[in-house]
Structure 1
Amino acid sequence: MKGKAVVVGGSIAGLSCAHALITAGWGVVVLEKTSSPATGCATGAGLGLDPLSQKLIKSWLDQPHTLDLTTLPLTIDQNEATDGEKKINRMLTRDERFNFRAALWSDLYSLLYKALPPGTVHWAQTFLSFRISDDENCVKVKLKASQSGEVTEVVGDLFVAADGCLSSIRQSFFPELKLRYSGYCAWRGVLDFSNNEDSDTILGLKKAFPDLGKCLYFDLGSGTHSVFYELLNKRINWIWYVNQPEPQLKGNSVTMKVSSDMIAKMHEAAEKVWVPELMKVIRETKDPFLNVIYDCEPLGQIVWQNVVLIGDAAHPTTPHGLRSTNMSILDAAVLGKCLEKWGVENLASALQEYQSTRLPVTTEQVLFSQRLGRIKQGLQLPDRQPLDPRTASWEDCEELQQKKMPFLSDMPSILSHIKQLED
Structure 2
Amino acid sequence: MEKRIRKGVVVGGSIAGVSCAHALMVAGWDVVVVEKSCAPQTGSPTGAGLGLDPQARQFLQSWLSHPHLLHHVTMPLALDQNQATDSEKKISWTLTRDESFNFRAAHWADLHALLYKALPRDVVLWGHHFLSFNTAHDKSSVTVKAKVLQTDEIVEIVGDLLIAADGSLSTICRTFLPELKLRYLGYSAWRGVLDFSENENSDTIIGIRRAYPELGNCLYFDLAPGTHCVLYELQGKKINWIWYFNQPEPVLKGSSVTIKVSSDMIEKMHEEAEKVWVPELAKVMKETKEPFINVIYDSDPLPQLFWDNVVLVGDAAHPTSPHGLRSTNMSILDAGILGQCLEKWGLDDLSSALKEFQSLRLPVISKQVLHSRRMGRLKQGLPLDGHNVLNLKTASPEDCQLLQQRNMPFFGQVPSLVDSN
TM-score (ref. length: structure 2): 0.98
Distance 1:171 1:70 in 2: 35
Distance 1:395 1:96 in 2: 17
Matches within 5 A, 1:169-180: 169-180=172-183
How many Å apart are 1:235 and its aligned residue?
0.6
1:196 aligns with 2:208: no
Distance 1:294 1:184 in 2: 9
How many Å apart are 1:415 and its aligned residue?
3.3
- Select the residue among 19, 32, 39 that pairs with 2:22: 19
1:248 aligns with 2:251: yes
Are the counterparts in 2 of residues 76 and 98 from structure 1 also a CA contact under 8 Å?
A: yes
1:274-293: CA deviation from partner (whole Å, max 9, x where unpaired): 00010000000000000000
Residue in 2 that maps onto 1:96:
99
Q: Secondary structure at the match of 1:152?
A: strand
Residue in 2 that maps onto 1:296:
299
Residue in 2 that maps onto 1:377:
380
1:7-63: CA deviation from partner (whole Å, max 9, x where unpaired): 000000000000000000000000000000111224311000000011110000000
Matches within 5 A, 1:273-352: 273-352=276-355
Are the counterparts in 2 of residues 82 and 390 from structure 1 also a CA contact under 8 Å?
A: no
- Select the residue among 19, 28, 32 that pairs with 2:31: 28
Distance 1:207 1:348 in 2: 56
Q: Secondary structure at the match of 1:264?
A: helix
Are the counterparts in 2 of residues 6 and 158 from structure 1 also a CA contact under 8 Å?
A: yes
Matches within 5 A, 1:6-405: 6-405=9-408
Distance 1:108 1:125 in 2: 22
Residue in 1 that maps onto 2:418:
415
Q: In the alignment, residue 68 of structure 1 is paired with which amino acid?
A: H
1:114-139: CA deviation from partner (whole Å, max 9, x where unpaired): 00111100011111111111111000
Are the counterparts in 2 of residues 42 and 190 from structure 1 also a CA contact under 8 Å?
A: no
How many Å apart are 1:94 and its aligned residue?
0.2
How many Å apart are 1:410 and its aligned residue?
1.6
Distance 1:373 1:397 in 2: 14
User: Aligned pair count?
Assistant: 418
Q: Secondary structure at the match of 2:276?
A: coil
Q: Secondary structure at the match of 1:379?
A: coil
Moved more, 403-412 or 304-313: 403-412
Q: Secondary structure at the match of 1:102?
A: strand
Distance 1:135 1:55 in 2: 37
Q: Secondary structure at the match of 2:228?
A: strand
Moved more, 238-247 or 382-391: 382-391
1:205-230: CA deviation from partner (whole Å, max 9, x where unpaired): 11111111100000000000000001
Moved more, 6-15 or 394-403: 394-403
Percent identity, aligned pairs only, is 64
Distance 2:412 2:398 in 1: 23
Are the counterparts in 1 of residues 308 and 351 from structure 2 also a CA contact under 8 Å?
A: yes
Are the counterparts in 2 of residues 42 and 106 from structure 1 also a CA contact under 8 Å?
A: no
Distance 1:371 1:13 in 2: 24
How many Å apart are 1:416 and its aligned residue?
5.2
1:315-342: CA deviation from partner (whole Å, max 9, x where unpaired): 0000000000000000000100000000
Q: In the alignment, residue 315 of structure 2 is paired with which amino acid?
A: D
Distance 1:390 1:35 in 2: 51
Are the counterparts in 1 of residues 364 and 414 from structure 2 also a CA contact under 8 Å?
A: no
Q: In the alignment, residue 343 of structure 2 is paired with which amino acid?
A: E
How many Å apart are 1:399 and its aligned residue?
1.1
Q: Secondary structure at the match of 1:218?
A: strand
Query: CA, structure 1 residues 190+72, in 2 after alignment: closer, same or farther (shift >3 Å)?
Result: same
Distance 1:103 1:159 in 2: 29
How many Å apart are 1:390 and its aligned residue?
2.6
Distance 2:92 2:387 in 1: 24
Distance 1:328 1:394 in 2: 33
Are the counterparts in 1 of residues 360 and 416 from structure 2 also a CA contact under 8 Å?
A: no
Unaligned runs of 5+ in 1: none
How many Å apart are 1:387 and its aligned residue?
1.3
How many Å apart are 1:413 and its aligned residue?
4.2
Unaligned runs of 5+ in 2: none
CA RMSD of aligned residues (A): 1.2
Q: Secondary structure at the match of 1:400?
A: coil
Moved more, 71-80 or 147-156: 147-156
Q: Secondary structure at the match of 1:272?
A: helix
Structure 1 runs (4+) greater than 6 angstroms displaced: none
Q: In the alignment, residue 292 of structure 1 is paired with which amino acid?
A: V
